[in-house]
Amino acid sequence: MADDDFLSSRLFVDEALTDGGALTLTDAPANYLRNVMRVAPGQALLLFNGRDGEWAGRVEAVEKKRVQVAVERRTREQSPPTGVDYLFAPLKHARLDYMVQKAAEMGAGRLRPVLTRRTQATRVNLERMRANVIEAAEQCGVLAVPEVLDPEPLDRALARWPEALPLVFCDEAAEQADPMAALRPIAAGPLAVLIGPEGGFDPAERTALLRLPGVTRISLGPRILRADTAAVAALALVQAARDGAPPPN
Domain boundary among 76, 111, 133: 76
Q: Report whether pLDDT(1) > 50.
A: no
The fraction of the chain above a pLDDT of 90, given in percent, is 81
Q: Report whether pLDDT(249) > 60.
A: no
Using alpha carbons, list the distances in angstroms from residue 175 to 110, 196, 208, 218.
28, 18, 18, 8
Nearest one of 67, 64, 65, 27 to 45, comparing CA atoms: 67
Query: How much is the average pLDDT of 35-56?
Result: 95
Q: Report whether pLDDT(215) > 70.
A: yes
Query: How much is the average pLDDT of 74-98?
Result: 94
**How far is residue 42 CA from its own chain's centroid?**
32
d(C-alpha 85, C-alpha 87), whole Å? 6
Can you give the CATH number for the domain in which 24 is found? 2.40.240.20
On the CB side of 12, CA atoms within 13 Å amount to 20
On whether residue 230 sits in a domain, the answer given is yes
Is residue 67 within a helix (H) or strand (E), and if so which, with residue range? strand 66-76
Based on the domain organization, do 20 and 105 belong to the same domain? no
Query: Which residue range is the domain that position 18 belongs to?
Result: 10-76
Domain boundary among 76, 111, 134: 76
Based on the domain organization, do 58 and 122 belong to the same domain? no
Which bin fits 30, alpha (ψ -120 to 50), beta or left (φ > 0)? alpha
